[in-house]
Amino acid sequence: MPNYMGQLTLSAHQNGGLEQGTALFAEQKPSRPATPSKRGAKKIATNTALVLENAAAGFKRPNILDVKLGVRLWADDAAQDKKTRFDLVTEQTTHKLYGFRIAGMRVWQGCDTKNDSLDIDEEGYRIYDKDYGRFIINNDNIADAFRDFLFTNSAGIDEELGKLVAQAFVTDLLQIQKALENKESRMYSASLLFVFEGDGQALRAAVEEASRSPTPLTNGINGHGSVDGDSESEEGYRSPKIYTVKVIDFAHAQWLPGMGPDENSLLGVRSVVKILKELGQDQ
């Protein structure tokens, strides 16, 4: 999970609610938001926000993928119209068979990319919005989404590098799977957030540096996918980040002792593990 950094509270003379408060904090963040913005999201009537670690910070060109988990997407207290609407999403997308769908993705295309395409922004990122996972990706081409995320030759990420990242993601996902299998909880519409270095040159340099360390390329390195867990040494050196994967979005989550593991979320985790294992294999 992302680290909890504390709370942000607006002062008495400020107004605008949480939306303004998060905007104030965003000015201090070292990189863009970790997930695509949710248009039309309901404004929360509060002046206090929880501040979480920005999973995209520390990367030169972070490639970001949001995978929404579950077959059932609604919590017990959801209104009937919401249940009906979400059940329709499940029926029409990869949620039903695979237990997840692609909720959003941004992938850097390289320095020479021209942003004359509607789906490439001014920084050279190809943007895959929520419609991509709902209407373009289906049960037959689901692996293509992960392939587009991992392999971008124009950005210098070839088959070798992409496979290394896929294998590293699998290592972390298996830890997440084990944790969920050993806890009795329920999460509805939670997500897996994948981030890795999208600049091929920077990624290769970080991987080569990691290979010179006795520590393997996994997030067993204190959970940061870097040579020393992204920690600073006595000399103040910070190792380059390679990748990270987090479980996020806990608006509808609870512990339920006696109810067994969360198989609803586990189906999605296991499905992603299988796809990434296949993409990470040497042909």
Q: Which residues of the chain have pLDDT under 70?
A: 12-43, 115-117, 214-238, 282-283
The whole-angstrom separation of Cα 199 and Cα 170 is 21
> What are the DSSP E strand ranges found in 97-164?
100-108, 125-128
Distance, in Å, from the CA atom of 23 to the CA atom of 253, rounded to the nearest integer, reads 26
- Domains of the chain: which residue ranges? 4-52, 62-280
Beta strands 253-255; 243-248: pairing state:
unpaired
The answer to whether 31 and 61 have CB atoms below 8 angstroms apart is no
Question: What's the pLDDT score for residue 42?
Answer: 63
Write down the pLDDT at residue 15.
Answer: 55
CATH number for the domain formed by residue range(s) 62-280: 3.30.470.160
Q: % helix / strand / coil in the chain, to the nearest 5?
A: 35, 20, 45
Q: What are the tens digits of pLDDT across the range 140-170? A: 999 999 999 999 999 999 999 999 999 999 9
DSSP run (H or E) holding 275: helix 263-280
Which segments within the chain are labelled E, that is strand?
4-9, 48-52, 62-69, 100-108, 125-128, 185-187, 191-197, 243-248, 253-255
